[in-house]
Structure formats: structure tokens, C-alpha cells
Amino acid sequence: MNFSGKYQLQSQENFEAFMKAVGLPDELIQKGKDIKGVSEIVQNGKHFKLTITTGSKVIQNEFTLGEECELETMTGEKVKAVVQMEGDNKLVTTFKGIKSVTELNGDIITNVSWHSELV
């Protein structure tokens, strides 16, 4: 399954608790909670380019499945991580106590992230 496409955020759960756990300041959490971000994914085989635009903030990450890469987080921090594919429609990564699962079903992409402090 190819993840390439442009996806608009439809909903988010536990946003404030998750953002506090990853260290985002309260004022940025309040600004960001109602912004509907857009994610654009370009997949070429095992290589991915991901651009997330939330208001005026743009985060760009590139990775190859199964290889260590540097990812920019929502706080602007750079972290080392490995993104794996589960099945043919899930991207999974873990870094700094955060696990993120992105699942593609048809033309709907779902991302679930949780922090070990919230489990």
C-alpha cells in the first residue's frame, strides 16, 4: 500500500495531555489545539518524505524504513529513531518514551501517539 497523498487532520484525542507530556509549553498547546494540520506524504519504495503543516509551523522529515534517521518532533527537537512497517498499512516508531502508529485505510490516515507517562 502506498502512503503518498495529502491528508487533513479531522480529529485528535488527548491532545493537551500528550503535548504536556512531550514538553510543549501551555501557550503553544492552546494555540495548536484547534488548528487542523495538513500532512503530505511522498513514498518512493521504502523511502518517505513527510511534511506536516500546522498553521505557520512546518516540520519536514525523511526516513527509510528500517534505517536509523533523525526526526524533528513537534517541539522542534531532533531525535534518532527507526520507522518500521507493520503489515502493509502501518508505520510504527518509538523515541523518547513516545510510540507513534500511523495507519492508512483507503484515503484516511490515522495517527495514534502516546507517551509512556500517560499509559
What phi and psi, each to the nearest 5 degrees, are found at residue 16? -65, -45
Determine the Cα–Cα distance for residues 52 and 58; give it in Å rounded to an integer.
6
Cell for 107? 484515503
Which domains, and CATH codes, for the chain? 5-115 (2.40.128.20)
Determine the Cα–Cα distance for residues 62 and 30; give it in Å rounded to an integer.
28
Q: What is the mean pLDDT of the chain?
A: 88
The residue-averaged pLDDT of 52-73 equals: 93
pLDDT digits (tens, 9 = 90+) for 82-105: 999 999 999 999 988 888 889 998
CA atoms within 13 A on the CB side of 64: 3
Cell for 26? 501551555
Q: Model pTM? A: 0.84
